[in-house]
Amino acid sequence: MTKTVMKQVLNWIKEPAISIGMVLIATTAIARPYYIPSGSMEPTLQIGDDVITAKYSYGYSRYSVPFALGPASDHRLLQRIPERGDVVVFQLPRDPSQTLIKRVIGLPGDRIQMRDGRLWINGKELPVERDGFSEMQNADGSYMPVPKYIETLPNGVKHAILKWRDFPPMDNTKVYVVPSGHLFMMGDNRDNSLDSRVAAQDGGVGYVPVENLVGHAKIIMGSVDYLNASNILAWPAELRLARLFKSIR
């Protein structure tokens, strides 16, 4: 191959290579979109939401890069521990191929318990206020009104939860003591969330290592009610315009 031909080939592949490199850097270091497939975080997040996750918020680990290509470590590069109330994306500890999104409820050393459907942190019951009803989406796409509450975490963060039935296994639990370097996660749809209240060995989430964090869910960039769209051509009609660019709190 002559130098002229080689130069032409390099020029031909340079632009797409740079573009691919910039995409990899952006999705690794800055932000990445995630699709919400379930209702475990209703009413905060709905099935069909597309959220932008800031990957720099808590520093970086092997789960910050594609395919988890990196060494395991108990500490993250530029690590910052999330605050209670942050909505985070993370890799499921018992199966890192699965990506979940939940709210941070417990920090290292916290004592977490559910008593009669109410959340207790470090021996204190969290205050809740009734906030009318919210439309919860079922697996078949239908909606049903369920009671909505505003819960206040110990750091003053207020967020909406759904509590709509008696669910004994999850409503009355033992006291969970969050280990060092781990977090306790819960879904806002308290009766429809498999989370840290169920141990990993029982098919749940269990405690989540800080290493498994992917990023902080910040903004809803798009939302389509896919369950009620008969095909891809019906998606525009099911676009939830009111949810576009909504901050996640």
User: What tokens were used for 132?
Assistant: 């009318």
174 an active-site residue? no
Q: Are 69 and 23 in contact (CB under 8 A)?
A: no
User: What tokens were used for 229?
Assistant: 């769209």
97 an active-site residue? no
3-class SS letters over the chain: CCHHHHHHHHHHHHHHHHHHHHHHHHHHHHEEEEECCCCCCCCCCCCCEEEEEECCCCCECHHHCHHHCCCCCCCCECCCCCCCCCEEEEECCCCCCCEEEEEEEECCCCEEEEECCEEEECCEECCEEEEEEEEEECCCCCEEEEEEEEEECCCCCEEEEECCCCCHHHHCCCCEECCCCEEEEECCECCCCCCCCCCHHHCCCCCEEHHHEEEEEEEEEEEECHHHCCCHHHHHHHECHHHCCEECC
User: What tokens were used for 45?
Assistant: 């997040």
Rounded to whole angstroms, the Cα distance separating 68 from 62 reads: 5
- Catalytic residue (choose from 57, 61, 64, 102): 102
Rounded to whole angstroms, the Cα distance separating 183 from 172 reads: 20
Enumerate the active-site residues. 40, 102
